[in-house]
Structure 1
Amino acid sequence: MVGEKYANRIIVVREFDPKKDALGVEDVERRCEVGPSGKLSLFIDLMGDPICRVRNSPAYLMLVAEMGEEKEIVGIIRGCIKTVTCGKKVSRNGKNSNEIPSKPIPVYTKLAYILGLRVSPSHRRMGIGLKLVDRLEEWFRENGAEYSYIATENDNQASVKLFTDKCAYSKFRTPSILVNPVYAHRVRVPSRVTIIQLDSSDAELLYRKRFSTTEFFPRDIDSVLNNKLSLGTFLAVPRGTYSAESWAGSSAFLANPPESWTVLSVWNCKDVFTLEVRGASLVKRALAKTTRILDRALPWLGLPSVPEVFRPFGLHFLYGLGGEGPHEVKMMKALCAYAHNLAKDRGCGVVATEVSSREPLRLGIPHWKRLSCTEDLWCIKRLVDYSDGSVGDWTKSPPGLSIFVDPREF
């Protein structure tokens, strides 16, 4: 517990207590709308469980800042720690440096993630956010984290300034959050593509064999895939190459893959939190309702209708996107169509994903610009100083083509 006086009022930072803090945290969340600046604001409803967004991580902590004798909660922050890929190296089969190297193997590090930093609008510019970050970083170090990172909107100047100027974080990656509405009609999946659902063991093998060297890949991918919120992993292949009946497992598939294929997994955020779009005029609401009416009445036309997003709605998050081959973009479009229909069947309002700004597969991911954030910002900080230079510094590494976005942190 940490306390400090501000204008004769004491601010205390302490661990979240679900028995007495839930209502105060909910009040702060409701007063702090989130969403890309200049767009419709998004309000997050944590469905009565403020710590739910980190509960599925290997190690997590939630802190609150309270002020005065009345112990009013004026700030909150969440953090979690996991082990992820931060690079790759090439091993050799023998001591002779002239031997042909084997495939790259991942280099792992213990990474902390800060999310859900909120300070009540009436208590900003008092150093509360900085105190919350400092205390959380202490916990990160105590638990062996080497790096810490955060995600924020690139044009959120207050957040960027806090982390880069006051907390010594560096701008690191600029991925894109792509959001697509779930229409009233089902989206057609091309008949020339076959979609196969993999069981968790097959999915784990495929990810470890092909994507474990991708930046931010979680070493506990098995825990992610076996989580109750993970709705499945789906593989797109050309028609006639594989089917559910002929599928012999990921080992056989990787030994003789088709020319083009793609894969993705689906995470059920709908059971964790809901969203609500605010700031839309009555005219826009009426137009959106009209598109839904037409879409329901004429589903065969495939009209792009706006779902009911002006009251709480759920989403599915697509993660683990990958593939290869000359037709991988078309394959990804087919997978996204399949994922759309799954979200429709489960009553979701939108489907979202986050990909690197250089990701080749993003061309196959349908999204609405109005709902998306084309340049999110990830900032990173090294918590452990290796002054002897024996260990590389991830913060100085150039970006790769892809990143693996952990759905537990979305």
Structure 2
Amino acid sequence: MVAGGDHDKHKGKVLIREYEAERDLAGAEEVDRSCEVGTSGGAVSLFTDLLGDPVCRVRHSPAFIMLSMMKLAETAGPEKEIVGLIRGCVKTVTCGKKTPRSAGASVPVYTKAAYILGLRVSPSHRRMGIGVKLVEKMEDWFRSQGAEYAYVATDKENEASLRLFTGRCGYSKFRTPSILVQPVFAHYQPLSRSAAVVRIPPEEAETLYRRRFSTTEFFPRDIDAVLRNRLSLGTFLALPAGSRWAGVHRFLSNPPDSWAVVSVWDSMSIFHLEVRGASLLRRGLAWTSRAVDRALPWLRIPSFPDLFRPFGGYFLYGLGGEGPAAAKLLRVLCGHAHNMALAGSCCVVATEVAAGEPLIPGIPHWRRLSCSEDLWCIKRLAEDYSDGSVGDWTHSPPASSIFVDPREV
């Protein structure tokens, strides 16, 4: 039994420490469950404003190796309680490009960047400065790892999150990519006979990405680790019908007039989402659309998936292509990914691209499920930066394309 004076002595005090899996797993999961994605709790969201109802992330356990750290906030005193947590990682990415006088092609300019994967504070302990303390402690770790920049993705409508990062922590609005979400129907998507889909092995995919996309903003230097991760389900190339795949080097030396590429990531094994609070009418209409689609698949009815219980999805990354028919070929690849997701019992296929991405017309999506303007905020951590001709990355104009690392979703 603890005297009341001891309780008063510790009241309001919170300690920030590193996460310990065996000791803290249950408490961290409870904080995660208490924070609904898309609300004012400061949570970083994947899907927002879905059907006008809150979306809740119900599970998140990273299943890959990356230089990462989790810190948590714990109340002081004898009855300790985890009331907040933050995740972050550090990696080397492209922040721009330069063209040396001695070389004809542009080369990437790399920087060490840190990404805040998620910030959670229990509803009962908000407005106590815990979020700021967690961010500051995580930034200290970022600096110790040599990170020059830190960035975070949040919802532009999340006023509490924006006040925290841009108002109190010194971040500035940086990029506004689009999250595009396509539902997975109960029928398979027919693929155009005017295109051939080829699956290429990770080593050839790595060569293709490094040769064609290494100057794309946020391109990860360790793309080989991403492509070889067990969650990466493959890289697929769409070529005009009749084209033959003779290896990546032959392709790069003599590519067809048009082509497209995409890689598929198994996000369902990392986390699940759930729509809560939907009306019975909406649930009934969604169930009816699925029932008709299953009974009459040849009609290809765009049925609404069951999002009202925990569901998962696949994430498309490394989207790109060249030529006048690139968008059409990308649409074929998205149809192929949809069919993979249907076979994998997923409910959605999602991707994130730059707002000005020229290939957006080739990405099927439902506007009601998508977010036209996600918000990425950035902060320069290092006093001396080494990103060459780019200067201070925080002031650079947005490019037409970005490379979204699936490990950060």
Fold agreement, TM-score > 0.5: yes
Q: Distance in 2 between matches of 1:369 and 1:378?
A: 20
Match for residue 81 of structure 2 among 68, 72, 82: 72
> What amino acid sits opposite 2:16 in the alignment?
V
Match of 1:28 in 2: 31
> What amino acid sits opposite 1:252 in the alignment?
R
1:309-342 Cα shifts (integer Å, max 9, x gaps): 1111111000000001111111111110000000
Report if aligned partners of 1:57, 1:80 keep a CA contact under 8 Å in 2. Answer: no
Tell me the CA shift for residue 40 of structure 1: 2.4
Match of 1:84 in 2: 93
Match of 1:41 in 2: 54
Q: Distance in 1 between matches of 2:350 and 2:95?
A: 24
Tell me the CA shift for residue 92 of structure 1: 2.7
> What amino acid sits opposite 1:123 in the alignment?
H
Match of 1:270 in 2: 268
TM-score, normalised via structure 1 length: 0.92
Match of 2:124 in 1: 122
Match of 1:98 in 2: none
Q: Distance in 2 between matches of 1:123 and 1:155?
A: 22
> What amino acid sits opposite 2:85 in the alignment?
I
SS in 2 for 1:360: coil
Match of 1:303 in 2: 301
For these two proteins, the number of residue pairs brought into alignment is 390
> What amino acid sits opposite 1:192 in the alignment?
S
Confirm whether residue 12 of structure 1 aligns to residue 15 of structure 2.
yes
Match for residue 64 of structure 2 among 39, 56, 59: 56
1:192-249 Cα shifts (integer Å, max 9, x gaps): 110000000110000000000000000000000000000000000100112xxxx221
Q: Distance in 2 between matches of 1:58 and 1:33?
A: 26
Tell me the CA shift for residue 144 of structure 1: 0.3
Q: Distance in 2 between matches of 1:367 and 1:339?
A: 13
Report if aligned partners of 2:109, 2:387 keep a CA contact under 8 Å in 1. Answer: no
Instruction: Summarize the alignment of residues 150-165 of structure 1 with structure 2, pairs less than 5 Å apart.
Output: 150-165=152-167
The percentage of counterpart residues that share the same residue type is: 58
What are structure 1's unaligned runs of at least 5 residues?
A: 94-100
> What amino acid sits opposite 1:24 in the alignment?
G
Tell me the CA shift for residue 56 of structure 1: 2.5
Tell me the CA shift for residue 45 of structure 1: 2.3
Q: Distance in 1 between matches of 2:202 and 2:152?
A: 29
35-44 vs 194-203, which deviates more? 35-44
TM-score, normalised via structure 2 length: 0.92
Q: Which runs of 4+ in 1 moved over 3 A?
A: 5-8, 387-391
SS in 2 for 1:9: coil
CA RMSD of aligned residues (A): 1.7
> What amino acid sits opposite 1:23 in the alignment?
A
> What amino acid sits opposite 1:227 in the alignment?
N
Q: Distance in 2 between matches of 1:368 and 1:390?
A: 40
SS in 2 for 1:80: strand
Report if aligned partners of 1:57, 1:408 keep a CA contact under 8 Å in 2. Answer: no
Match of 1:352 in 2: 350
Match of 1:144 in 2: 146
Report if aligned partners of 2:178, 2:352 keep a CA contact under 8 Å in 1. Answer: yes
> What amino acid sits opposite 2:360 in the alignment?
R
Report if aligned partners of 2:358, 2:400 keep a CA contact under 8 Å in 1. Answer: yes
Instruction: Summarize the alignment of residues 4-403 of structure 1 with structure 2, pairs less than 5 Å apart.
Output: 8-35=11-38, 36-37=48-49, 39-46=52-59, 49=61, 52=62, 56-69=64-77, 70-93=79-102, 101-242=103-244, 247-386=245-384, 392-403=391-402
Q: Distance in 2 between matches of 1:372 and 1:278?
A: 17
Tell me the CA shift for residue 386 of structure 1: 2.6
Q: Distance in 2 between matches of 1:388 and 1:67?
A: 40
Q: Distance in 1 between matches of 2:23 and 2:385?
A: 44
Q: Distance in 2 between matches of 1:181 and 1:127?
A: 39
Report if aligned partners of 2:176, 2:374 keep a CA contact under 8 Å in 1. Answer: yes
Tell me the CA shift for residue 278 of structure 1: 1.3
> What amino acid sits opposite 2:270 in the alignment?
V
Q: Distance in 1 between matches of 2:150 and 2:220?
A: 15
Distance 1:190 1:7, change over 3 A: same
Report if aligned partners of 1:176, 1:376 keep a CA contact under 8 Å in 2. Answer: yes
SS in 1 for 2:13: strand
Tell me the CA shift for residue 103 of structure 1: 0.4
Q: Distance in 1 between matches of 2:145 and 2:53?
A: 38
Q: Distance in 2 between matches of 1:316 and 1:41?
A: 21
Distance 1:146 1:123, change over 3 A: same
What are structure 2's unaligned runs of at least 5 residues?
A: 1-7, 39-47
